[in-house]
């Protein structure tokens, strides 16, 4: 998902630079909370776009962190101090993400930052976090192939979402022919590369895999849906694995529904469609299409029910939905609180060393653990879209799946591991026993 909006990049031929500057001026990017630099608070940075194309997804995550901080303060804060949120708006503009991150760390002196959605925004802030040695919690599923000392990845790596979804289709739906459809940017391209390698290792022939990329914000899906229909009429059960980015999904699903492609004929399993995205669609024609996530709002569990109730009370909106990246923030936030309490300090170096091994309950009944590669263990669920815009869980992994920083399916990365505990290295080659170091 990483990026609803490299849309912006696409639009940026002419616009982006000025857009950012103008947006900055117009919208006033000053921190929303007052700068009472009191020593009795711990500052927590929130780096999510509140304007621009990404606001559609990121605004909710900002609210989530504010909600979590509010809850934590009710419990007495952390180390006897209250938490204080410092919210900035990087306005869906990648270079601005880096600027705002720098501002948070140097000017506001935050102890930790929760933020970013797109991979490109994460890549943009990476050097800042390395240079100023601070902590970033990144809550969105992404393409993997990364493990950095200063970043903790609470979203899913490909082996925690894409691979189990494909396994499900192979086993339960007996799918033999695959359409890998995605938006044209780094997350779908890397994920599809991993999936293609995985499918071939399972004996799927090249002619049974169709890969299709579309530009950002693609709205005319007629040709592609017709192609999928044609590809699906080769006498073998066909499914679509969709890494289509959030915004383009509505017209895609509308076209599927209108052309009469039902889930029982050609199911679509999506990695970027959650409760929030479905809020904009009439889901009746989509019943049965699938999504793979580590969390669904519909999962019945006391922890989840309490969270939803408190969240809706906090936002004063009884219809406000919850989604997977929100849960990732919940887990990440609780892990950070535990690590801080363990070392009795908010010093980033101490917290970074303390985090691996920390466990925090997730909202689906399990306990997630931070791994030495800075990814976490998560359960994987396959949900079917229901008529009311929610998901019905039809399958889940028997146990929690540890996140792989480096995919085991790709030639270049299958020997690499991230290990910040023993090896102190994000890309350690187990064959040559060497750390490749930075520059990956």
Residue ranges binding another protein (CB under 8 A) = 7, 11, 14-15, 18-19, 22-23, 26-27, 51, 53, 55-56, 59, 172-173, 184, 212-215, 217-220, 222-224, 226-227, 229-230, 232-236, 247, 250-251, 254-255, 257-260, 263-265, 267, 276-277, 279-282, 285, 288, 384, 387, 392, 394
183 vs 407 by CB, closer to another protein: 183
Chain position carrying tokens 């908010």 = 346
Q: How far is the CB of 313 from another protein (least distance, A)?
A: 18
Choice between 178 and 336, CB closer to another protein: 178
The vertex-228 CA angle with 226 and 230, nearest 5°, equals: 70
Residue (15 or 434) nearer to another protein, CB: 15
SS3 for the chain is CCCCCCHHHHHCCCCHHHHHHHHHHHHCCCCCCCCCCCCCEEEEEEECCCCCCCHHHHHHHHHHHHHHHHHHHHCCCECCEEEEEEEECCCCCHHHHHHHHHHHHHHCCCCEEEECCCHHHHHHHHHHHHHHCCCEEECCCCCCCCCCCCEEECCCCHHHCHHHHHHHHHHHCCCCEEEEEEECCHHHHHHHHHHHHHHHHCCCCHHHEEEEEECCCCCCCHHHHHHHHHHCCCCCCEEEEEECCHHHHHHHHHHHHHCCCCCCCCCEEECCCCHHHHCCCCCHHHCCCEEEECCCCCCCCHHHHHHHHHHHHHHCCCCCCCCHHHHHHHHHHHHHHHHHHHHCCCCHHHHHHHCCCCEEECCCCCEEEECCCCEEEECCEEEEECCCCCEEEEEECCCCEECCCCCCCCCCCCCEEEECCCCCEEEEECCCCEECCCCC
* Residue whose CB is less far from another protein, 224 or 351: 224
CB closer to another protein, 185 vs 333: 185
Residue 219 C-beta: closest distance to another protein, Å: 5
> CB of residue 158 vs another protein: minimum separation in angstroms?
22
Q: Residue 236 or residue 344: which is nearer to another protein going by CB?
A: 236
Closest CB to another protein among 226 and 421? 226
Tell me whether residue 90 or residue 372 sits nearer to another protein (CB atom). 90
* Least distance from another protein to the Cβ atom of residue 234, Å: 5
* Least gap, CB of 13 to another protein (angstroms): 8
User: Min. distance of Cβ 33 from another protein in angstroms?
Assistant: 19
Q: How far is the CB of 11 from another protein (least distance, A)?
A: 6
Shortest Å distance, C-beta 338 to another protein: 32
């Amino acid at each position: 998902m990483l990026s609803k909006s490299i849309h912006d990049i696409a639009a940026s031929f002419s616009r982006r630079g000025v857009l950012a500057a103008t947006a900055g001026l117009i919208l006033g990017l000053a921190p929303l909370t007052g700068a009472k630099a009191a020593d009795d608070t711990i500052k927590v940075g929130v780096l999510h776009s509140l304007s621009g194309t990404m606001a559609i997804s990121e605004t909710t995550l900002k609210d989530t962190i504010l909600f979590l901080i509010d809850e934590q303060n009710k419990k007495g804060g952390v180390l006897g101090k209250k938490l204080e949120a410092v919210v900035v708006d990087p306005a869906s503009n990648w270079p601005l993400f880096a600027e705002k991150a720098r501002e948070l760390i140097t000017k506001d002196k935050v102890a930790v930052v929760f933020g970013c959605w797109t991979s490109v925004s994460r890549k943009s802030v990476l050097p800042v976090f390395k240079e100023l040695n601070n902590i970033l919690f990144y809550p969105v599923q992404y393409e993997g192939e990364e493990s950095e000392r200063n970043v903790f990845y609470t979203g899913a790596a490909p082996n925690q979402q894409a691979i189990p979804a494909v396994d499900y289709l192979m086993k339960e739906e007996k799918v033999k022919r695959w359409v890998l459809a995605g938006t044209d940017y780094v997350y779908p391209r890397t994920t599809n590369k991993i999936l293609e390698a995985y499918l071939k290792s399972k004996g799927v022939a090249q002619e049974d895999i169709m890969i299709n990329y579309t530009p950002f914000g693609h709205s005319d899906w007629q040709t592609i849906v017709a192609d999928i229909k044609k590809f699906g009429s080769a006498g073998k059960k066909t499914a679509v694995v969709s890494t289509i980015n959030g915004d383009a999904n509505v017209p895609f699903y509308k076209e599927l529904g209108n052309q009469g492609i039902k889930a029982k004929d050609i199911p679509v399993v999506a990695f970027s469609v959650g409760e929030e995205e479905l809020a904009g669609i009439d889901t009746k024609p989509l019943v049965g299409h699938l999504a793979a996530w580590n969390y669904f709002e519909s999962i019945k569990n006391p922890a989840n029910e309490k969270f939803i109730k408190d969240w809706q009370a906090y936002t004063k909106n009884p219809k406000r939905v919850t989604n997977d990246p929100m849960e990732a923030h919940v887990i990440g936030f609780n892990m950070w609180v535990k690590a801080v309490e363990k070392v009795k300090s908010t010093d980033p170096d101490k917290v970074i060393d303390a985090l691996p091994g920390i466990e925090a309950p997730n909202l689906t009944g399990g306990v997630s653990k931070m791994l030495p590669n800075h990814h976490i263990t998560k359960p994987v669920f396959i949900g079917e879209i229901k008529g009311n815009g929610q998901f019905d869980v039809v399958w889940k992994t028997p146990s929690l799946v540890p996140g792989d920083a480096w995919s085991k399916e790709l030639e270049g990365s299958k020997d690499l591991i991230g290990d910040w505990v023993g090896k102190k290295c994000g890309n350690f080659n187990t064959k040559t026993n060497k750390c490749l170091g930075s520059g990956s």
